[in-house]
Structure 1
Amino acid sequence: MNLALRDVRHNLGRFLLTCLGLSLLLGVVLSMIGIYRGLVDEALTLARAPGADLWVVESGTRGPFAESSRIPGDERDSVARLAGVAEAGSLTFQSVETAHRGRTLRLYVVGHELNRPGAPARIVAGRPITRAHYEMVADRRSGLDLGERLRLGRNDFTVVGLTDGLVASGGDPVVFLTLADSQRLQFDLDPPAARRERARGSGPAGTDIVNAVVARVLPGVPVQEVADTAARWKHLSALTQGQQEALLLQSVVEKARRQIGLFTTILLAVSAVVIALILYTLTMDKVKEIATLKLIGAPDRTIVGLIVHQALAMGVIGWSVGTVLILLVKDHFPRRVVLTPEDALMLGAAVLIICVAASGLGVRLALKVDPATALGG
């Protein structure tokens, strides 16, 4: 006879309601883990999009994602001539806002050179940019459709291709322009500002500025050696792809990781307290039943098993329902939520440990029950 199962049947409504509340709490815990995974994935997606081995940036900076970097556009030719470099391309990065369909659309614009590293590696619909001006490849999260026209700055751009899952670390969808178009968007002054600068006698500033030069290295050539060679120029710094990703995570994701980790720990602690209080309450409700079991000679392990089995049942049901709920709604989150089987299993193991530990309060109460209580009024 399974005493835990019989007791659950006797208090089925309260038990199921408790499991539902616990499942919602564990679902939030799992979603926080998925949100962190999504932050990391989004942060690295853009850095990995060019398929580069080497990033050349302004001296003293840590790359275009962690901080501002501005170098002359002709540095691309210098990098391309380095021994071991197969090809190189210039890139610009900037955030823009524009009005579209009656709403404000925020985008992360990447400018790249045609037929050089930096273009999106995978286009899910349409085609890559083939014209030198006024064409765009946008991510699906922007809400833009093929053939649609979008005004950026003083020019209209036509969407000729779509990517999927390319967003900046801030969550803004990425759009790709040619390098010349992106530089014009970044540096060209509005007509009133341009007239004011001419009235002041200031000539037009040079616009052949890029944020980084990316390079692909020939097979068999050590990337770090090429990076060391590029870094000998005092006005440039060079980072391997691995170093760029590590810096990106440290500078952009680190604080979010700590905050999400702290919040997840607090939620797990709250879950443990909730389970402990519920089991304690359930144990108090059946003090006479436990006393009767002791009076008829039931061993302590039977009584302990009654409470521990209920705790494990609540944990398993809460974890299972919470996982299913998050899997059903994760695609509706405004930011990407990445759930892996390993994370779900680790959370399940942690929940089982928490349930066993939380049952100690109820077990302690049950073992202190006097068998004479069963004979009371």
Structure 2
Amino acid sequence: MNLAYRDVRHNLFRFVLTCLGLSLLMAVVLAMIGIYNGLVADALNIVKAPQADLWVVEAGTQGPFAEASKIPGSTRDAVARLHGVADAGGITYQTVEASHAGDTLRLYVIGYQPGHLGGPQTIAEGRGITQTHFELVADRKTGLALGDRIRLGRDSFAVVGLVENTMNSGGDPAAFVTLADAQTLQSQLAPPAQRVQTARGAGLLESADTVAAVIARLEPAADPRDVAQTVRQWKHLGALTQDEQEGILIGSVVDRAKRQIGLFLGILLTVSAVVIALIIYTMTMEKLKQIATLKLIGAPDRTIIGLIVQQSLALGMVGWSFGLILILLFKDFFPRRVVLEPVNAAVLAGIIVVVCVAASGLGVRAALKVDPATAIGG
């Protein structure tokens, strides 16, 4: 006869209600893990999307994601001629707000040279950009559909293709345009401001042909570090390998968010442990007379300990299961991408088991201290 099972059946409503409360707490924990994974995945997705081996940026900067970088567009031709470089392309990144269907969309606009690196790798629906101007490939999260038109700056762009899961570390969905359109968008001023700048003579010597970086794909036999060192000899340029760019992105751009989410997870797990401990302790105190009766009829301590520990584990694992189901059902409705890996759920389950066993200590201590004579004394 399993005493824990019998006791749960006797107080089924309270047990289910307690598990529901714990499941909501577990769902929040899993959501925070998934949001962090999504944050990292989105950040790395942008830098991995071009499938580049080398990033050529402005000297003294850490690339277009960690800080501003601006180099001449003609750098692409110079990089393409380097020994070991198979292909190279200029690329720009900028955040733009645009109005569409009465809503304001915040887009992460990526400008690239069609036929070279930097464009969308997989088109989920529609086609890629084939015209020189005014075509756009957007992420589904923008809410745009094929054939829609959206105004960026002074120009109207037609949506010709859709991609999936292409966002920056801030959660802004990406939109791909040609490099020429992106450069125009980057340097474009409102007509009154343009007239003022022209009258002042400002910008007459500035070239609009600038890019945030030149990305290069190397030949199989080429060493990215050697090619990067060659680029660094040009004093006005810096170079980062793909691994270095990813390391900077994780260590700089998303580091604070990682630490903040980690701290929040620690607090939630501590709260979970305290809640489980209090629930088990309360349930044990309510059963002290029954436990005393068990002791009086000769039940060993391990039976009583098993009763308390099994109930604690049942609470934790049922709460974990319901929480996992909840987050899997609702994760697509979050404003940010939630990426929950099986290993995350498994690790949390292991942590919950440890927490439940440790939290049952208070109840076990109270149960072992009870005097069997209490059962007779009423």
With the length of structure 1 as denominator, give the TM-score of the two structures: 0.98
> Which residue of 2 is the match for residue 324 of structure 1?
325
> Which residue of 2 is the match for residue 222 of structure 1?
223
Query: 1:98 deviation in Å?
Result: 1.2
Q: Structure 2: how far apart are the matches of 1:270 and 1:195?
A: 61
Aligned ranges 1:252-267 → 2 under 5 Å: 252-267=253-268
Q: Structure 2: how far apart are the matches of 1:87 and 1:206?
A: 24
> Which residue of 2 is the match for residue 142 of structure 1?
142
35-44 or 191-200, which deviates more: 191-200
> Which residue of 2 is the match for residue 93 of structure 1?
93
355-364 or 194-203, which deviates more: 194-203
> Which residue of 1 is the match for residue 304 of structure 2?
303
Secondary structure of 1:23 counterpart = helix
> Which residue of 2 is the match for residue 75 of structure 1?
75
Change (3 A) 1:203 1:365: closer
Summarize deviations over 1:127-148 as a string: whole Å, max 9, x none.
1111111111111111111111
Secondary structure of 1:276 counterpart = helix
The answer to whether residue 119 in structure 2 is matched with residue 119 in structure 1 is yes
Summarize deviations over 1:274-308 as a string: whole Å, max 9, x none.
11111111111111111111111111111111101
> Which residue of 2 is the match for residue 362 of structure 1?
363
Question: Match for 2:322: what amino acid?
Answer: V
Secondary structure of 1:96 counterpart = strand
Question: Match for 1:281: what amino acid?
Answer: T
Q: Structure 2: how far apart are the matches of 1:25 and 1:202?
A: 58
CA RMSD of aligned residues (A): 0.9
> Which residue of 1 is the match for residue 103 of structure 2?
103
Secondary structure of 1:216 counterpart = strand
Query: 1:198 deviation in Å?
Result: 2.4
Q: Structure 1: how far apart are the matches of 2:161 and 2:147?
A: 9
Change (3 A) 1:278 1:217: same
Question: Match for 1:28: what amino acid?
Answer: V
Summarize deviations over 1:111-136 as a string: whole Å, max 9, x none.
11110111111111111111111111
| Unmatched runs of 5 consecutive residues or more in structure 1 | none
Summarize deviations over 1:37-63 as a string: whole Å, max 9, x none.
000000011111111110000000000
Q: Structure 2: how far apart are the matches of 1:192 and 1:259?
A: 44
The answer to whether residue 67 in structure 2 is matched with residue 49 in structure 1 is no
267-276 or 192-201, which deviates more: 192-201
Summarize deviations over 1:43-90 as a string: whole Å, max 9, x none.
011111111110000000000011000001111111111110011100
Query: 1:252 deviation in Å?
Result: 1.4
Secondary structure of 2:319 counterpart = helix
> Which residue of 1 is the match for residue 197 of structure 2?
197
Query: 1:189 deviation in Å?
Result: 2.2
8-17 or 61-70, which deviates more: 8-17
Aligned residues: 377
Determine what percentage of the aligned residue pairs are the same residue: 64
Q: Structure 2: how far apart are the matches of 1:369 and 1:5?
A: 22
Summarize deviations over 1:14-59 as a string: whole Å, max 9, x none.
1111111111111111111111100000001111111111000000
> Which residue of 2 is the match for residue 165 of structure 1?
165
Q: Structure 1: how far apart are the matches of 2:62 and 2:226?
A: 18
Secondary structure of 1:221 counterpart = coil
> Which residue of 2 is the match for residue 271 of structure 1?
272
Secondary structure of 1:234 counterpart = coil
> Which residue of 1 is the match for residue 245 of structure 2?
244
